[in-house]
Structure 1
Amino acid sequence: MRGKVYEPLPLIGKLMSPAHDTSSVGTRYNLNTPALVLDLDVFERNVATMAEIIKAHGKGLRPHAKSHKCPTIAQAQRDAGAIGLCCATLDEAQIMAANGLSGILITSPVTTGYKIGRVVALAEQTPDTMIVVDNPDNARNLAAAAEQKSLQINVLIDVELGFGRTGVTSPEAAVQLGNTIRNLPSLVYCGIQAYGGHLQHTVDPIERLDLCRQAHRRIEGIMDALASIEMSPPIVTGGGTGSHLIDAQEGPFTEIQAGSYIFMDAEYQTVIYAEGEKWPFDNALFVQTSVTSTNVPGFVTTDAGTKAFALNGPEPRVITSGLEVTTYEYAGDEHGRLHLNGANVRPSIGDIIECVVPHCDPTVALYGRYHCVRGDKLVDVWEISARR
């Protein structure tokens, strides 16, 4: 069930603490399960591949940190050519900035007085930080808080693309918000964000292409309306892992916000990349679990239940050699059930099982660290410090 054993390699990032010294563990198969395992060889290929694709189409890459919530990974993406990073929450943004990262875009509106105060503090610490707005009142509140500190805050107009979550819903609303921003000296207009989360997991590539083109036309209508008041957007940011190639090839975007590509997951494996083409990214992130009981015929019980996997995706996919035909089922908070489905191998007590995560972003939020491996060797441990 194990592959080639690699020679020890230099550590990549700073270890969390002596308690996580990799020399005391040695291999990826001697971890405290459930454990989150990151294959660094695959991860590095994924990072490099997306950087090359986006660069080849003349766009910028501003990857989404909500997928990994880890400053070490964000820095690796910056080192590979990313122009910045996206953060879904203010917590993520503050932690990334505290670790020396810049070029941060907060992709959701921040509206309460307490959080707006934190945005101002972040702008003071990292002046190139940007945040989206979709409401004139929110823009005015941000501006008032920034003015009290004699600061300017960089803002983008958030555009709704059919997901029904946030964003202005018409060209007229975009113009109204644009005029509001223009009349607030403590706000700096930087462009628009148009993210279609509902497009990313459209399984059929022809349907996904059609939906993306509809979104592109909607974005272009907003851009034309803003141009009519001399507010053509310098930045047009959006897109994701599922739509990155379409958006890079023919979309109106200046930059792409893909995030999940660094890990991939079982959910993205149900999506067809393009007609006749396989995904250029491979699975790099796994949950490792161990067998705790084998008494019932037809399945074995593991120690990874609903607290170990995100539940808003397909079931985990088993990749352990000889067990690929098995299916994974949750059997409670702390237990999983591996249905053998006639597999030639029956796991024994204490055996290690590895699964592709169902949905990477919320699964990562359940863990405190990545166990970083090359082959069978554990080479580092990275803290997931922005998972709040």
Structure 2
Amino acid sequence: MVEHHKATLGPNATFIGVKGGRKRLNTPALLLDLDALERNIATMAAHAKKVGIHVRPHSKGAKSVEIARRQVAAGAIGICCATLGEAEALASGGIANLLITSPVVTPVMIDRLIALNLKSQGLMLVADNPANVDALAAASANAGRRLSLVVEFDVGQGRTGTTSVEMAAALARQIKASLHLHYAGVQAYYGHLQHIPAHAERKAAAAAQMDRVRALLDHLKAADLAPALVTGGGTGTFDIDPDGGVYTEVQAGSYPFMDREYLEIAMTAGGASPFAAALFVQTSVVSANREGFAIVNAGYKSFATEGGPPVVASPELPGASYRLMGDEHGGVQYDAQKAELRIGDVVEFLTPHCDPTINLYDRYHCVRGDTLVDIWPVDARGR
């Protein structure tokens, strides 16, 4: 069991190690099936080794020092963070080789970044703007330690990133010319492709964007700016990203957990997913006065809602569906001829979108079978 101060474990700490404790938890509770988590991490590590690509798992969903430790122990080259706050939290937990995948631009946040760079080994940051690069160079000069920058290249997401090969090359040249910065490589992340349902369509869309990355790399090489690192890709394209021969590492983030959105797509050419659901929200039935309809104590505050409704994982409820019924409540419709829910019954749900759902909770309740074996903090929640 990972040691945490008792006071941080919350009201369910008393059930750790108690056989059957999984069903006795105060709810709603975020559950993490450690057997499934460990298999998922091992599966991704084995795949990456087989195809000859590095994995730098994204922690924007997990937000967990303990999960990052396990990924690094399995062979991950480092960890991605979406925000400076996430990087600070993971660095405080001893995680090195962090890549912050979004720009850091305001003066007060640049000050925090420079402070983090002084103590975090292998820290890198993406940039997409020359004025920001100048500001980062000036701050690094004052601190006396070089900062490693990765040029971000937009591959169709339309969010951050340089928007042309020429713009990306100019930024790379600017970084390389600075005495106070290190040109570390290129980021090309196509998050908008990760949930395309059909594998063939997802592969074709990714291939089109990898062609653009390849053109950028050819241009950079000709300009004596060939990057040592090319990072991008994700869970939905984990078996596609290596095929293009452009990426040196993959930023998969959801694979340790999986969620409804990922489990509903064809993860591989054959359709089957090598990763299993490991993340659930456990709830309790608080009212059951209507036939075939029960109210559980989990609503808007318990599930991320932009990805559609969660799915009942247990118990088996034929024809079950969930609908939000307020901040604290949700309704479960089911076939009353085949099952019955009573007050106090436990209902576990597969999350619709793991990342923002995790961010609603302070703790993971780690289970093996019917036993609660540990409680881990969501270290970077809200950061």
- TM-score bracket relative to the smaller structure: over 0.9
Given candidates 352, 359, 362, the residue that maps to 1:358 is: 352
Report if the CA contact (8 A) 1:16-1:381 is conserved.
no
The answer as to 2:154 corresponding to 1:156 is: no
Given candidates 325, 338, 343, the residue that maps to 2:332 is: 338
The answer as to 2:187 corresponding to 1:198 is: no
- For 1:163 and 1:86, the matched residues in 2 are separated by 18
Matches within 5 A, 1:60-71: 60-71=54-65
- For 1:193 and 1:343, the matched residues in 2 are separated by 54
Given candidates 80, 87, 92, the residue that maps to 1:93 is: 87
Q: TM-score, normalised by structure 1?
A: 0.95
Q: TM-score, normalised by structure 2?
A: 0.96
* Cα deviation digits, residues 88-132 of structure 1 (max 9, x gap): 000000111111110100000010001111111111001410000
* Cα deviation digits, residues 192-242 of structure 1 (max 9, x gap): 000000010010111101001001101011111111210001000000000
Q: Which residue does 2:365 correspond to in 1? A: 371
The answer as to 2:53 corresponding to 1:59 is: yes
Give the stretch that moved more between structures: 249-258 or 205-214.
Answer: 249-258
- Which secondary structure does the structure 2 equivalent of 1:267 belong to? helix
- For 1:50 and 1:249, the matched residues in 2 are separated by 16
The answer as to 2:233 corresponding to 1:233 is: no
- For 2:246 and 2:221, the matched residues in 1 are separated by 14
* Cα deviation digits, residues 8-65 of structure 1 (max 9, x gap): xxx2x22342554744452111111100000000100000000000111111110001
Give the stretch that moved more between structures: 19-28 or 352-361.
Answer: 19-28
- For 1:355 and 1:289, the matched residues in 2 are separated by 8
- For 2:357 and 2:251, the matched residues in 1 are separated by 20
Report if the CA contact (8 A) 1:326-1:343 is conserved.
no
Report if the CA contact (8 A) 2:15-2:24 is conserved.
no
Report if the CA contact (8 A) 2:239-2:268 is conserved.
no
The answer as to 2:78 corresponding to 1:78 is: no
Q: Which residue does 1:15 correspond to in 2? A: 4
Give the stretch that moved more between structures: 335-344 or 18-27.
Answer: 18-27
Report if the CA contact (8 A) 1:327-1:341 is conserved.
no
Q: Which residue does 1:108 correspond to in 2? A: 102
* Cα deviation digits, residues 324-374 of structure 1 (max 9, x gap): 530111000000000114561111001000000110000000000000000
- For 1:116 and 1:241, the matched residues in 2 are separated by 30
Task: Compute the RMSD of aligned alpha carbons.
Answer: 1.3
Counterpart AA for 2:325:
A
Given candidates 279, 294, 298, the residue that maps to 2:273 is: 279
Given candidates 302, 305, 317, the residue that maps to 1:311 is: 305
- For 2:106 and 2:4, the matched residues in 1 are separated by 36
- Which secondary structure does the structure 1 equivalent of 2:67 belong to? helix
Counterpart AA for 2:177:
N
Matches within 5 A, 1:166-245: 166-245=160-239
Q: Note the C-alpha offset of 1:67.
A: 1.5
Given candidates 249, 258, 263, the residue that maps to 2:257 is: 263
- For 1:65 and 1:152, the matched residues in 2 are separated by 24
Change (3 A) 1:273 1:261: same
Q: Note the C-alpha offset of 1:385.
A: 1.2
Identity %: 45
Change (3 A) 1:235 1:23: same
Q: Which runs of 4+ in 1 moved over 6 A?
A: none
Q: Which residue does 2:26 correspond to in 1? A: 32
Matches within 5 A, 1:312-331: 312-331=306-325
- For 2:337 and 2:64, the matched residues in 1 are separated by 37
Report if the CA contact (8 A) 2:15-2:372 is conserved.
no
Report if the CA contact (8 A) 2:318-2:338 is conserved.
no
- For 1:264 and 1:190, the matched residues in 2 are separated by 31
Change (3 A) 1:121 1:290: same
